[in-house]
């Protein structure tokens, strides 16, 4: 599949690229991995595949190390928009897939407030 | 530090977010990890810290799983621009830091051609 093109971005290899923090801090410190991050990532990947959104010109669901916004964990970020999400369960992931990744509509209720950091 | 704001993106938590593929495929298959990805990531992180670019409103250097453009590995992608790079050594990383991450100038000679995939 050819890379996705828009006027804003002449070459965007993935139309939307979502990164899930799967970090596990040492010494048992609180981290995304302890709050269902792996399950959220796996469910998102399955859903994106199932919807046939996966691949160049479409959506990529990616593992990431610490995104350094641990206070809002588990977190994920969608680029190129730079929209950050916090999620609790599969329903949240479903909404991110159906609304944002598929149709470009930000899921406002899951957006991480801008002041949430480490 | 407050989140970086632009007219284009009202809330961009990191002005530039670079993800390094550090993936190691099973069974010894060719992958970014076998081509200096960890060293590139570590050098980039050190340089960004040294230049005091790191953090919210600035630059985040991130570990990532497979970015699925293995044929051009080792690869890294800078968002929100969606610019993909392939690099060989520390000099390449230095140029990405000094030119793109610090000053927003894409390093054309290191840009991954759009047709390079898995």
Please indicate, yes or no, if residue A8 is contained in any of the structural domains.
no
Q: What is the pLDDT, as a whole number, of residue B16?
A: 97
Q: How would you label B82-97 residue by residue, b for 16+ Cβ within 10 Å and e otherwise? A: bbbbbbeebebbebbb
Please enumerate residues of B whose Cβ is less than 8 A from a Cβ of A: 3, 9, 11-14, 17, 19, 56, 60, 62-69, 77, 79-82, 84, 114-115, 117
Q: Which residue of A has its CA nearest to B9?
A: A81
Q: What is the pLDDT, as a whole number, of residue B11?
A: 65
Please indicate, yes or no, if residue A95 is contained in any of the structural domains.
yes
Q: What is the pLDDT, as a whole number, of residue A79?
A: 96
Peptide bond preceding B74 in cis form (omega within 30 of 0): yes
Domain range enclosing A36: 16-110
Please indicate, yes or no, if residue B117 is contained in any of the structural domains.
no
Please enumerate residues of A whose Cβ is less than 8 A from a Cβ of B: 2-3, 9, 11-14, 17, 19, 56, 60, 62-69, 77, 79-82, 84, 114-115, 117
Nearest Cβ partner of B82 from A12, A64, A117?
A: A12
Please indicate, yes or no, if residue A1 is contained in any of the structural domains.
no
Nearest Cβ partner of A82 from B9, B84, B114?
A: B9
Task: Report the percentage of chain B scoring pLDDT > 70.
Answer: 91
Please indicate, yes or no, if residue A2 is contained in any of the structural domains.
no
Do A10 and B82 form a contact (C-beta atoms < 8 A)? no
Ramachandran assignment for A96, one of left (phi > 0), alpha (psi -120 to 50 degrees), beta (any other): alpha
Q: What is the pLDDT, as a whole number, of residue A29?
A: 81
Nearest Cβ partner of B65 from A62, A67, A81?
A: A62
Return mean pLDDT, chain B.
90
Inter-chain touch A11–B114, beta carbons under 8 Å = yes
Q: Which helix (H) or strand (E) holds B63?
A: strand B59-64
Please indicate, yes or no, if residue A72 is contained in any of the structural domains.
yes
The per-residue pLDDT for range B5-51, each reduced to its tens digit, is: 444 455 689 999 999 999 988 887 888 888 899 999 999 999 999 99
Please indicate, yes or no, if residue B34 is contained in any of the structural domains.
yes
Sign of the Cα torsion B25, A80, B14, A68 reads negative
ipTM: 0.91
Please indicate, yes or no, if residue A115 is contained in any of the structural domains.
no
Q: Strands, DSSP E only, in A9-95? A: 16-21, 59-64, 75-79, 83-86
Low-confidence ranges of chain A (pLDDT < 50): 1-8
What's the total number of domains in chain A? Answer: 1
Substitution target from B68, B71, B82, B106 for chain A, most A beta carbons within 10 A: B82
Q: What is the pLDDT, as a whole number, of residue B10?
A: 52
Q: What is the pLDDT, as a whole number, of residue B12?
A: 82
Pure H helices in A57-108 = 90-95, 102-103
Q: What is the pLDDT, as a whole number, of residue B1?
A: 40
The CATH number that applies at residue A61 is 3.40.30.10
């Amino acid at each position: 599949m050819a890379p996705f093109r828009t006027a804003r971005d002449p070459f965007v290899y993935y139309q939307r690229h979502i990164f899930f923090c799967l970090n596990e801090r040492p010494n048992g410190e609180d981290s995304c991995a302890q709050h269902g991050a792996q399950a959220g990532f796996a469910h998102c990947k399955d859903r994106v595949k199932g919807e046939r959104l996966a691949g160049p010109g479409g959506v990529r669901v990616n593992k990431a190390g610490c995104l350094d916004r641990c206070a809002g964990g588990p977190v994920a970020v969608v680029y190129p928009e730079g929209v950050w999400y916090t999620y609790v369960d599969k329903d949240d992931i479903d909404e991110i897939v159906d609304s944002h990744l598929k149709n470009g509509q930000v899921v406002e209720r899951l957006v991480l407030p801008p002041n949430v950091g480490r």
